[in-house]
Chain A
Amino acid sequence: MLECPTTTPPALAERAEGEKFHAASHLRRLEAESIHILRETAAEFRRPVMLYSIGKDSSVLLHLAMKAFHPGKPPFPLLHVDTTWKFREMIAFRDRRARELGVDLIVHTNNDGLSQGIDPFTHGSARYTDVMKTQALRQALDLHGFDAAIGGARRDEEKSRAKERIFSHRSAAHRWDPKNQRPELWSLYNTMLAPGESMRVFPLSNWTELDVWDYILLEDIPIVPLYLAASRPVVERDGALIMVDDERMPLLAGEQPRWRSVRFRTLGCYPLSGATVSTAATLPEIVREMMASRTSERQGRMIDRDSPASMERKKAEGYF
């Protein structure tokens, strides 16, 4: 097994106070809108749930939910769909945050897929994503009878997301019908559902990636240390840098993990998350790096590239 170097979580609190900038009114407007959406969801649905993917957007979403219902706790549990291929640091972070905040955390894994031995290396990212993420999510929603699932998707992420409503209707088969979305005017959300139907709710719809980072910086929100540069063992494969997070990753002929200073712009399953060569080890450095960046965050994601319009298709099938 590979030895991981100790990645010291950045001393966020020690950041110079002067770096706290005043994006206040713009970020506060986004914050107020998101909190309004979260409260509408709590008020209008019988059994809502918050999808918690452990990423930066989920960290912001959870932070907003804590604020929306303060001094109480969010009136819905968190759901993590665990493919068993997440970075180990993500799982540790997830369990620690749920404990610290005292929120309910449901972890669901598609055991059918697990027993069939579905993995991202041998079955390809498309099949793997369908079984271990999309189907797993649908299983979990059905199992617990959730009628609204809150997610951290943003409209700036991808072109089909830019088209989606904040309250996005799903049929009883969890399908999204992009050609027939409900009109969504002002801040009035049509939350009516027939039996079996459900709603996906996206409180961060109007945030950009930069807004998310600015807000994390402004509010001191804990994030998985993988977002910050550190020396990590990676191999270059299909044009991407893949971190060798555990011994399950089969190395191809000639592949030799190299220790490089890398970080991740998006987090998911480690075999499908491309790393970025970077020395940005603090949040302000990340934000500055982002400003200068010439590629989008999804560039490091393997699953969006399987086929053209692949995100729209996956969404129609029930992917988040």
Chain B
Amino acid sequence: MSYHEAPTIAASDAPRLDQDDRPTLRFVTCGSVDDGKSTLVGRLLYDSKTLLDDQLDALASESRTVGTTGGDLDFALLVDGLQAEREQGITIDVAYRFFATKLRRFIVADTPGHAQYTRNMATGASNADLAVVLVDARKGVITQTRRHSHILSLLGIHHVVLAVNKMDLIGFDGDRFASITAEYLTMAGQLGISQVQCIPVVAPGGDNIVAASTRMPWYTGPTVTAYLESVDVSGDVSQRPFRLPVQWVNRPNAEFRGFCGRIASGTIAAGDSIAVRPSGRQTRIARILTPGGERDRAAAGESVTLTLTDEIDVSRGDVLTAGPAPQVSDQLAAHLVWFDDEAMVAGRRYLLKCGTASTGAVITTLEHRIAIDTMAHEDAATLDANQIGYAHLSLDRPLVFEAYRDNRDMGSFILVDPISHRTAAAGMIDLSLRRATDIHWQRLAVDKSVRARLKQQRPCVLWFTGLSGAGKSTIADLVDRRLAELGRHAALLDGDNLRHGINRDLGFSNADRAENVRRTAEIAALFVDAGMIALVALISPFRNERELARQRVQAGEFIEIHVATPLAECERRDPKGLYRKARSGALPAFTGIDHPYEAPQAPEITIDSSELSTDAACERIIRYLRDNHYL
């Protein structure tokens, strides 16, 4: 019979009433390529009897066709679920698998070992209580072991199982096992990983995975499964002060206004006094609605809807708090794990997400970078993909947070690249660099609109971007004069001129170029605040930086003008002789020659000065300003 016949249910099959409240342990496997992570996880699934008949049949057949074990069951195929992974015999992305024993449920995140997939390892580790770090007994502790352990320590994972795998390939040598564990324990101590259990294993054979190995009688400690079933990883966030990042305001009708979110820490009861951060307004909890109905109390981890006794302003990104106030600051220091293939650039703006709050953020300084092999703090200007560092960040708005070590939900953030939308980095907040209360934003009665009315113009930024020699300054200069003739009030910010003054300290490294653009954008924004039309003539080769300049002002206040004169024409003109120098090698990293220029994708105005005279270009811009009611 080929179809599935359900098994007969015997009356003696005890319902699982006694097992239902087994705690869940979330753990991650990590280590280098080919250390046997996926095989270990596959073996755990196999030995825990989690696998079902059709899955075992599929495993046996796949082991024969694509396996790397000569026809024996290739347990890694159970978790390497992507076609590219099975073809190459490697793990690319994290796989989440579920199994249970009599004592516990487990969610295991099996992560890739390749350095290039470190971001996926961090993804799997971020929600783990414990890590199983594998090393190949023949190789011992290597760079990737150190990198992963470092990330584990940053993520606050204090419990590690060091599984020394492939013991069969070193003849079950107990002395070698001892020297590997000694080396690892030294490193773990430096990293602050306090609980390490070292276990010699043979993952494919199952030695010391579930059953104690008969081949290593010198080892008398627990098996991997026995340890995972018994280790105490509890760290009770419900004992900490109450914090609820507001996710969603629920207003189904005029009578009901509830604030939804998952409690990050602490407990709350109806009638408790709370404060809304960052505003600091005080109120009380009226009702607590939980998925199970209305209740008097709720604790960390629960998704609830709270109503308050007062009608006060609360929105997504605010945090409801009780007890000691959390930190509120727009300047903070954090550990960063860089993910994006595009390196970190100080001065560039990223989108920061922490809890339910989002804000623009600039990495002001990289304090140091970690040299993985020595764990030394080294000076560096940037972080490449998979590197770890410590940085200062400046935020657009004050953020409500706590140190990561005290509260994971309140102290973790991601940085998102505003152009590519890739997740560029993960951050763990260390401390606040100053309190937001130190800053007093002056609330001025005379604002931009008042000033703009005085001048009978709508303030804006005219941002001229293009290659050197494209004609940006020439056209901008004429537009400036034309506006003056029309009785309008403008100011010209020329890249070259700024470099003689406010930007004189900047060179031509990527970071300095980014800072040059950032400062110019800030100055332009101040002019706009003053009701003026700011003309900026700056090569500004990177789309990302121009986008941040655009975000610095209000929607509709930024007019990007691409002076799109072809490179050959710019080089022919070569008004300052720069192309000649660049071609001769005297001027390295010259935009258009050996440094990229990213053309705007949707500029408000495009001008090719090889086809259009300066006068005609100027008129086109003036017409645009009139048509769109800037003038």
B13 with A241: CB separation less than 8 A:
no
B412 near A188: Cβ-Cβ < 8 Å? yes
Q: Is B15 an interface residue (CB 8 A)?
A: yes
Question: Does B305 reach chain A (CB closer than 8 Å)?
Answer: yes
Contact of A292 among B9, B53, B107, B316 (CB under 8 A): B9
Cα-based distance from A155 to B107 in the complex (angstroms): 11
Question: Could you tell me if A26 and B15 are in contact, using CB atoms closer than 8 angstroms?
Answer: no
A254 near B: Cβ within 8 Å?
Answer: no
Q: Assess whether B190 is interfacial by the CB under 8 Å rule.
A: no
B426 close to A (CB within 8 Å): yes
CB-CB under 8 A from A285, the residues of chain B are 9
Tell yes or no: A220 within 8 A of B by CB: no
The reply on A111 being an interface residue by CB < 8 A is no
Of B115-123, B142-150, B432-440, B533-541, the one with at least 4 CB within 8 A of chain A? B115-123
Number of B interface residues at 8 Å Cβ cutoff, please give it.
Answer: 80
Question: Contacting chain B: which of A50-58, A68-76, A91-99?
Answer: A68-76
Are A185 and B412 touching (Cβ within 8 A)? yes
Q: How far is the CA of A312 from the CA of B80 in the complex (A)?
A: 12
Q: Which of B3, B53, B92, B95 contacts A294 (CB 8 A)?
A: B53
B353:A29 contact, CB within 8 angstroms = no
**Is the Cβ of B339 less than 8 Å from the Cβ of A312?**
no
B22, B126, B251, B356: the one contacting A185 at CB < 8 Å is B126
Mark interface residues in B78-97 (1 if CB within 8 Å of A CB, else 0): 11111110100000111111
Q: Which of A24, A184, A274 contacts B4 (CB 8 A)?
A: A274
Residue B301 is within 8 A (CB to CB) of chain A in the complex: yes
For A158, what are the chain B residues with a Cβ–Cβ distance below 8 Å? 81
- Residues of B with C-beta under 8 A to A115: none
Q: How far is the CB of B113 from chain A (nearest CB, A)?
A: 16
Contact with B along A54-82 (1 / 0, CB 8 A): 00000000001001111111000000000
B423 touching A26 by the CB < 8 A rule? no
The 9 tightest CB contacts between A and B, nearest first, are A159-B81, A72-B252, A239-B2, A185-B126, A192-B421, A35-B303, A278-B6, A23-B20, A183-B119
- Whether a CB of chain A sits under 8 angstroms from the CB of B105 is yes
Does B250 make an interface contact (CB < 8 A)? yes
Q: Which residues of B contact A182 (CB under 8 A)?
A: 422-423
Task: A31-B303, A36-B262, A277-B6 are known; give 20 further A-B pairs, CB within 8 A.
Answer: A26-B24, A68-B260, A155-B96, A159-B79, A162-B81, A178-B84, A183-B122, A184-B423, A188-B412, A190-B353, A190-B414, A190-B416, A194-B421, A208-B98, A236-B3, A239-B2, A241-B3, A294-B7, A294-B53, A295-B52
- Tell me which of A39-47, A129-137, A138-146 binds B: A39-47
Cα distance A241–B80 in the bound complex, in angstroms: 31
Does B409 reach chain A (CB closer than 8 Å)? yes
Is A187 in contact with chain B by the CB < 8 A criterion? yes
Interface centre among A21, A70, A186, A214 (most CB of B within 10 A): A186
* A91 smallest CB distance to B (angstroms): 26
Residues of A near B416 (CB, < 8 A) are 190, 192
Interface hub of B248, B351, B422 (most chain A Cβ within 10 A): B248
Taking a contact as CB atoms under 8 Å apart, the answer to whether A43 and B20 are in contact is no
Q: Counting CB contacts under 8 A, is B613 at the interface?
A: no
Contact of B6 among A36, A160, A181, A280 (CB under 8 A): A280
Pairwise interchain contact B4-A295, C-beta atoms closer than 8 A: yes
Contact of B53 with A68 in the complex, beta carbons under 8 Å: no
A125 within 8 A of B: no
Decide if B21 touches A163 in the complex (CB within 8 Å): no
Fill in one digit per residue for B46-69: 1 if any A CB lies within 8 Å of its CB, else 0.
Answer: 000000111100000010000000
Which residues of B119-136 are within 8 A (CB) of A? 119-120, 122-123, 126-127
A39, B260: Cβ atoms under 8 Å?
Answer: yes
Query: What are 5 A-B contacts defined by CB distance under 8 Å?
Result: A22-B21, A31-B291, A163-B82, A181-B120, A188-B414
